[in-house]
Structure 1
Amino acid sequence: MKKDLSYYLNLPYTIEVKKIPDDEGGGYSAFMPDFLRAKITFWGDGDTPAQAIDDLRLAFEAAIEPLLEDGTNIPEPKLEQSLSDKAKNVTITLKESVINEIDAAAASLGISRSALIAIGTKAYIKGL
């Protein structure tokens, strides 16, 4: 398989979203920890977690292209998952309009509905 831009854009990298304190400008920042060990960093920021993730995706795409051209070794996601952190199916009830908003946001970010719900929930809990 050719490891081109499309290949890397479709890998399941972990995205961490953090709330930026109001005294530091507020909003949210997003980054991919898989790149920290390779000393390749890029960030996204925005007023909402979704905006930060969208900004991160743009930064990721812009950073990967020159790395590919230079032949730089680009890290791939760690797929390790502890037994206590396995994915589980859950059933929730939401209004159809909310599901439509979730699906539209997830599609615009290029992630699944489940990923968007997980990222948003984690960001919300960390902000409490």
Structure 2
Amino acid sequence: MTVAERKDISNYLNRPYNIIIKSISDESGDYYVARVLEFNGCVATGETREEAYQAIYEVLEGFIEDMLEDGEAIPEPISDDEYSGNLRVRMPKSLHRDLSQAAKLEGVSLNQYLINKLSK
């Protein structure tokens, strides 16, 4: 790998990608799983949160190297600017009625009622 290619990969690794780390307890034991939201299948594990965090960057580096070699576009980091806060949901009229009535009983708007229910 040339110096220029190494620099290109470093530039990608320094972008603010979304790293998600979860603790897992299963038949294998207790460990942490890290993933990069923008890269489907970019997953690593570690015995500690720190190990998983370090491991995911090694996996991410491999993903980026492979994508560059294959001429694939590297995903851009997902930023908060991509979310407007608006969501349109279609539902049966009967569900709309039931939710509207429940909101009225609580003395709040349907929007506030739904936000409250979804945030729990």
TM-score over 0.5 (shorter chain) = yes
**Does structure 1 residue 32 correspond to structure 2 residue 32?**
no
Residue 4 of structure 1: aligned partner: 8
1:57-76 equivalences under 5 Å are 57-76=57-76
Higher helix share: 1
Secondary structure of 1:35's aligned partner: coil
| Offset, 1:70 | 1.2
Secondary structure of 1:21's aligned partner: strand
Q: Which is greater in Rg?
A: 2
Residue 18 of structure 1: aligned partner: 22
Q: Which amino acid in the other structure matches residue 62 of structure 2? A: A
Using the alignment, how far apart are the partners of 1:50 and 1:76 within structure 2? Answer: 24
TM-score in terms of structure 1 length: 0.54
Secondary structure of 2:30's aligned partner: coil
TM-score in terms of structure 2 length: 0.57
Residue 53 of structure 1: aligned partner: 53
Verify the 8 A CA contact 1:4 1:68 in the aligned structure 2: no
Secondary structure of 2:39's aligned partner: helix
Higher strand share: 2
Using the alignment, how far apart are the partners of 1:63 and 1:79 within structure 2? Answer: 20
Runs (5+) with no aligned partner, structure 2: 85-120
Q: Does 1 or 2 have the higher relative contact order (CA < 8 Å, sep 6+)?
A: 1
| Offset, 1:24 | 3.8
Q: Deviations over 1:42-84 (max 9, x none)?
A: 211111111001111111111211210111011111112569x
| Offset, 1:35 | 1.7
Using the alignment, how far apart are the partners of 2:77 and 2:58 within structure 1? Answer: 18
- Let me know the Cα RMSD of the aligned residues: 2.4
| Offset, 1:23 | 2.3
Q: Which amino acid in the other structure matches residue 56 of structure 2? A: L
For these two proteins, the number of residue pairs brought into alignment is: 79
